[in-house]
Structure 1
Amino acid sequence: MSITADYHMHTHHSGDSTAPMEDMIKSSLDKGLKEICFTEHQDADFPDWYNLPEFPFILDTNAYREEFLHYKELYAGRIDMKFGVEVGMQTHIAAENTEFVQKGDYDFVIASIHLVNRKDPFYPDFWEGDTVENIYRQCFDSTLENIKLFTDFDVLGHIDYVSRYAPKGDTTYCYSRFADQIDEILSYLIKNDKGLDFNSKLLGNDISLLPNPVPDVLKRYKELGGKIITVGSDAHTPEKIACGFEKMRDIALTCGFKEYYTFEKRTPIAHTL
């Protein structure tokens, strides 16, 4: 078998992508996918940094839904399309995020940490003023705090997102070093029937890199009783769709998984790896 569903991708409806939705659909078809889920960004109260436009990650849900339904009908019978969203968590907007999701009639919801202490690890100044290890610990603490406050989601997005942008050459991050915090997050997800976004974005840049989460974290999720993983490229451009999916399948199988999941109306559906 192979992975034929990409469950994390963005179009021009997300503030960090300019990709036309139809281009993403056509690329998915070219790559042999049978199902895709658009997961446009909704990051309320994102800080005003680096000349970003005003409200860069506030999703125009109506415009997104209208275009999605148009292409869902146009490509019916060729590819199964699902209506999803990636919600950026911050503790002070947990209630706002819950209200947003409940109004959206989504098939699938990813909850992600993109900000810690109102700063994004994508930018170098995030890493200033503290040790890298302490910053990782702050990120994992924030993740646990947020998933306890905002609970209306299906999978936790790229649990170790922060590791993507660590200072070059830093070797602070590995599962064993932060096992106490990561295990607490994973255990909470499992207890509350939440899954993990198994995210191949870095593989689209260099196939030798590791996905998010890294294999040791994915394996630990399985050991603790976790079952639900979705596989997504986090593509913001057509050529990145399904990047590294063969490697992702091999890693998942090695970690003990036999299935990956898609969603319909927030209900998980298992598929053989």
Structure 2
Amino acid sequence: MILADYHLHTSFSSDSESPMEDMIKKAISLGLKTICFTEHHDIDYPNNPDDFDFLLDLPSYKENLFTMKEQFKDQIEINYGVELGLMPTTLKKCSDFVKDEPFDFIIGSTHIVDFMDPYDAIYFETYPAGKGLAHYFEDILKNVSSFDDYCVYGHIDYAARYIKDPSFEFHYSDYSDLLDTILKTIIDHGKGIEVNTAGLKYGMNDPNPHHDIIKRYLELGGEIITIGSDGHCPEHMAYDFHKLPDFLSSLGVRYYTIFRNKKPEFIKL
């Protein structure tokens, strides 16, 4: 069983309305032993119809989390994290944001490319399917080449969730130069990747990333893999975690990782 969910959002993230206490109580009911809240902080997120700014009120978030951590300490371990939305233009600001802050865990993610979120239709109208995914990977490469203040890179093929072209099929070989360089850079910097079950929630055959990306990460020597549901509400916590042990084992994964004080700890599947 997977007993740790390391990608969770509450009402401290612009796109969630869920109170932190509700998420914690759900995690306890699911039998989770460890959770890490990873609220969004996306500097310079573009204007959008929902008027989300994705800027984290860090003092309020921190105060609430540590109050909950103490309140529920005998029932579940609650760790302090953040998901940084990275763009080549905001990396210095992101470093300043996390500097000297005692996070247990930091996810680096790419949500915005050319001031567009692939979640919005305009992205794949501008860059159709395969080209749009390649352009997304190009920005990830820029980020991992210049930024080191993260523990794992989140949902590396996030953009693929939103490709509507029914004829599109992902083949690692189509992006191997880009992806190999991204994965080697992540590994060389001592960082990891995330397996994010929101891909399954969105109807994909795999979690994010695609199984060939996970397999290649292992082939290149990667070892750090965290598990997260990307849950924004209680009912999505630990989403389809029961499917992961067999799925990951089939790829050669033997351990998943949790972080405390930004240090990885390995747990046997």
User: TM (normalized to structure 2)?
Assistant: 0.97
Aligned residue in 2 for 1:70: 67
Aligned residue in 2 for 1:95: 92
Q: Distance in 2 between matches of 1:168 and 1:29?
A: 39
Aligned residue in 1 for 2:30: 31
1:153/1:194 contact within 8 Å kept:
yes
CA apart distance, 1:172:
4.1
Map 1:120-269 → 2, pairs under 5 A: 120-206=117-203, 209-269=205-265
Q: Distance in 2 between matches of 1:186 and 1:144?
A: 9
1:61/1:104 contact within 8 Å kept:
no
- Matched residue of 2:256: which SS? strand
CA RMSD of aligned residues (A): 1.2
Does 1:16 find its partner at 2:15?
yes
Aligned residue in 2 for 1:46: 45
CA apart distance, 1:170:
3.9
Q: Given residue 20 of structure 1, which amino acid in structure 2 is its aligned partner? A: P
1:89/1:114 contact within 8 Å kept:
yes
CA apart distance, 1:104:
2.3
CA apart distance, 1:134:
1.6
1:200/1:233 contact within 8 Å kept:
yes
CA apart distance, 1:195:
0.3
Q: Distance in 2 between matches of 1:233 and 1:261?
A: 14
- 130-139 vs 187-196, greater mean Cα deviation: 130-139
CA apart distance, 1:174:
2.7
Q: Distance in 2 between matches of 1:84 and 1:51?
A: 25
Q: Distance in 2 between matches of 1:127 and 1:204?
A: 20
- Matched residue of 2:259: which SS? strand
Structure 1 residues without counterparts, runs of 5 or longer: none
Q: Given residue 230 of structure 1, which amino acid in structure 2 is its aligned partner? A: T
CA apart distance, 1:132:
2.0
1:42/1:59 contact within 8 Å kept:
yes
- Matched residue of 1:8: which SS? strand
Structure 2 residues without counterparts, runs of 5 or longer: none
Q: Distance in 1 between matches of 2:32 and 2:132?
A: 38
Q: 1:258 to 1:51 in 2, by over 3 A?
A: closer
Aligned residue in 1 for 2:3: 4
CA apart distance, 1:216:
1.0
Q: Given residue 141 of structure 2, which amino acid in structure 1 is its aligned partner? A: L
Quick one: percent identity of the two aligned structures? 39
